[in-house]
Each structure stands twice: as structure tokens, then as C-alpha cells.
């Protein structure tokens, strides 16, 4: 899959294509439905399917300081888009200039002059241009003017719930990672680099990988979770852990109230391994919440609870 960092990467001799546009944070089941429509259209026309996303999140430019928690990194977004059949992943930097661009100018400069869109596929709530005055109806009129078709896809709704990035963020924030997974079509993932913590887990017999996520990452509510842990990349075997393979883990999210901690951390106790994970880029896929975060009166009480967390994690993940 080709990856373009902005429209300046579009080749001068680029032909026509089918474009789907949106932030696509999470690449959830609703997004997958949209992408499926775009890739089907592209296949029927014999054209490449282009997914255009934005960075940073438009909300951060429209209202500085309001960047929503991020469900997927751009790299992860591209990986998921490729799995769904997208041929080109294009990241358009969202700037104050882009924000102020009138809707018709955006369509002409981006979709017509640079991407040469033959068809555009969007969600039926899609808006664009200055003050978000452009909508699907306007896009259809502009398509007739500039020679591209427009297909709008309804939002995905199940069990009286409309699946959206906003909804999934609310599930993650509440610690309901099962509901988030239902909407995503897979467990919610938090990536990060393993950094050195205070070493207390090792002292207690539960050595943890302290995962430092990127800025704006959507972190589940404080508590203990059953999760899958993966070392990303294709590097050499790290101790007893093979990059690319997933391992069961009991993950604590919070500030360690038993020890009067103040810093919120994501600490993964990877089961059945003593591998040295420091410095590794890893992923934690949250499957189910085991319990909320608690403050224990004694170390023995904490250790008993941690032992129970491990057993519950094994049961949830279906491992011996």
C-alpha cells in the first residue's frame, strides 16, 4: 500500500481514483462499512481506492486544547486500512488554512486537481470546508459540476447504539472495553514503549512492563484488565517473547493507590515469561475489565488480589 504524507506526495501523472474521506480514528465497524463500499466501487471501476485522513484531529485546530483521546495511531490506522483493501493511505495535515478553506475550494483543490477523484464515498454525516458548511448534499452538487460521483453510507447502528469514534471513546473512558471491542470489531489497543518504573512489581513477584503511550492515547478507566500483549516490529526474539506473537497479560491502569501513587500508568504483567522488555515498542489489546482500582490496607491483601487477577485473566482469555 502506498502512503502519502500530504497531497504533495501525489505523483504528477496520477490517474483517477475512488476516495473515501474522514478522520477514521479507530477504523471501527462503521468505518469498515464505509471502506468496503469504497473498495467495491474502486474494484468495479478498475481504479485504486484512496483513504484520506487528517492529522492532527480537526477538533484540535478548531478548538485548541480539545484534541479527543486517540483510538488509533496513524500507523495503526494505515495498517487497518490496508487490511480492509485500501490501496493508498493519504494523511492531510489539518491546519488553520485548511480549516478556513471554503467547501467548494476544498473539493476543487483536493478532490479534483490533486486526487482526480472519479468517485467519493463518505458517511452520511460528513461535513467539510470552512465552518463545516459543506455536507453530503453540497458534495453531490459539486460532484455533478466537476465530474465525480458521490456515495453516502449510513452510520452503523446496532442495539439502538450508533457506532462512532465518540461512542467508543466513551466506552473506553468508562472501562467498558468489551463494548468498545464490539463497536471496533476487535479489542481496543494501546501502544507504547516499555520504560523503567519504580520496580515495585518485581519486588512483589509480579514484574510488570510499564507502557508509556503516545500523547492523546485513549486509556481505559482505572482498573485491572485481561489483555493480550504483543511486541511490535520484526526484530529478534526478546527473552522468552517473540515479536509479533501475542501473550496473555493482566494489566493495571491507575496510580497505585495502595502506595499513594500520583502518576497514572499502564502496567502489564505478561504471564508465564520473564523477558526483558525495556525499550520495546509494544501493544496492549484490552479484552475485559477484571475489577476497578482499589486501595488495599496491606501488602498481603494486595498480593492476594493480584493473584486473583491473574487467575481471572487466564479464565477470561481461555488459557490454562
The H or E element containing residue 153 is: strand 149-153
Exposure string for 91-110, b = 16+ CB within 10 A, e = fewer = bbebeeebeebebbebbbeb
Domain of 211: which CATH number? 2.40.30.30
CA distances from 64 to 20, 60, 82, 201, 220 (A): 26, 5, 31, 38, 23
For residue 99, what are the domain limits?
A: 2-158
Closest CA to 291 of 223, 226, 228: 223
Q: Quick check: is 99 in a domain?
A: yes
Exposure string for 178-206, b = 16+ CB within 10 A, e = fewer = ebbbbbbeebbbbbbbbeebeeebeeeeb
The H or E element containing residue 139 is: helix 136-146
Q: Quick check: is 214 in a domain?
A: yes
Q: Quick check: is 204 in a domain?
A: yes
Task: Enumerate residues 6+ apart whose C-beta is below 8 A from 12.
Answer: none
Which of 158, 177, 198 represents a domain boundary (last residue)?
158
Q: Quick check: is 165 in a domain?
A: no
Q: Quick check: is 244 in a domain?
A: yes
Which of 136, 158, 180 represents a domain boundary (last residue)?
158
One domain for residues 198 and 258? yes
What is the domain count for the chain? 2
Reduce the DSSP state of residue 194 to 3 states and report it. Answer: strand
One domain for residues 90 and 148? yes
Reduce the DSSP state of residue 78 to 3 states and report it. Answer: helix
Reduce the DSSP state of residue 189 to 3 states and report it. Answer: strand
pLDDT at 258: 58
Q: Quick check: is 307 in a domain?
A: yes
The H or E element containing residue 52 is: strand 49-55
Closest CA to 174 of 309, 59, 289, 68: 289
Q: How many Å apart are CA 150 and CA 70, to the nearest integer?
A: 28
One domain for residues 118 and 210? no
Query: What residues of the chain score a pLDDT lower than 50?
Result: none
Place of cell 502496567: 267
Q: How many Å apart are CA 209 and CA 193, to the nearest integer?
A: 9
pLDDT at 256: 76
pLDDT at 294: 87
The three grid cell numbers given for residue 233, joined into one nine-digit string:
516490529
The side-by-side arrangement of strands in the sheet containing 149-153 is: 2-5, 88-93, 49-55, 17-21, 117-123, 149-153
Q: How many Å apart are CA 25 and CA 65, to the nearest integer?
A: 18
Domain of 128: which CATH number? 3.40.50.620
Nearest 5 degrees, angle CA 155-CA 160-CA 163?
35
One domain for residues 150 and 208? no
One domain for residues 114 and 9? yes
pLDDT at 200: 63
Amino acid at each position: 500500500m502506498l502512503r502519502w504524507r500530504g497531497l504533495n506526495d501525489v505523483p504528477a501523472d496520477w490517474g483517477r481514483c475512488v476516495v473515501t474521506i474522514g478522520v477514521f480514528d479507530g477504523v471501527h465497524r462503521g468505518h469498515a462499512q464505509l471502506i468496503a463500499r469504497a473498495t467495491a466501487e474502486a474494484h468495479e471501476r478498475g481504479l485504486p481506492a484512496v483513504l484520506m485522513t487528517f492529522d492532527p484531529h480537526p477538533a484540535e485546530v478548531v478548538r485548541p486544547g480539545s484534541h479527543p483521546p486517540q483510538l488509533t495511531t496513524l500507523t495503526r490506522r494505515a495498517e487497518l486500512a490496508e487490511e480492509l483493501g485500501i490501496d493508498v493511505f493519504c494523511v492531510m495535515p489539518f491546519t488553520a488554512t485548511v480549516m478556513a478553506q471554503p467547501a467548494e475550494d476544498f473539493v476543487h483543490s483536493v478532490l479534483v486537481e490533486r486526487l482526480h477523484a472519479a468517485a467519493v464515498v463518505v458517511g452520511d454525516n460528513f461535513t467539510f470546508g470552512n465552518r463545516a458548511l459543506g455536507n453530503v448534499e453540497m458534495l453531490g452538487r459539486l460532484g455533478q459540476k466537476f465530474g465525480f460521483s458521490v456515495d453516502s453510507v449510513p452510520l452503523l447502528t446496532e442495539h439502538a447504539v450508533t457506532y462512532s469514534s465518540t461512542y467508543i471513546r466513551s466506552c473506553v473512558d468508562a472501562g467498558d472495553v468489551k463494548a468498545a471491542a464490539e463497536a471496533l470489531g476487535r479489542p481496543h489497543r494501546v501502544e507504547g514503549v516499555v520504560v523503567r518504573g519504580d520496580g515495585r512489581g518485581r519486588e512483589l513477584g509480579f514484574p510488570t512492563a510499564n507502557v508509556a503511550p503516545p500523547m492523546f492515547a485513549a486509556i481505559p478507566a482505572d482498573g485491572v484488565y485481561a489483555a493480550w500483549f504483543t511486541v511490535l516490529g520484526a526484530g529478534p526474539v526478546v527473552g522468552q517473547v517473540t515479536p509479533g506473537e501475542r501473550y496473555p497479560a493482566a494489566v493495571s491502569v491507575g496510580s497505585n493507590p495502595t502506595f499513594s501513587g500520583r502518576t497514572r500508568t499502564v502496567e502489564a504483567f505478561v504471564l508465564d515469561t520473564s523477558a526483558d522488555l525495556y525499550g520495546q515498542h509494544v501493544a496492549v489489546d484490552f479484552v475485559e475489565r477484571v475489577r476497578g482500582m482499589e486501595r488495599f490496607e496491606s501488602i498481603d491483601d494486595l498480593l492476594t488480589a493480584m493473584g486473583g487477577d491473574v487467575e481471572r485473566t487466564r479464565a477470561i482469555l481461555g488459557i490454562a
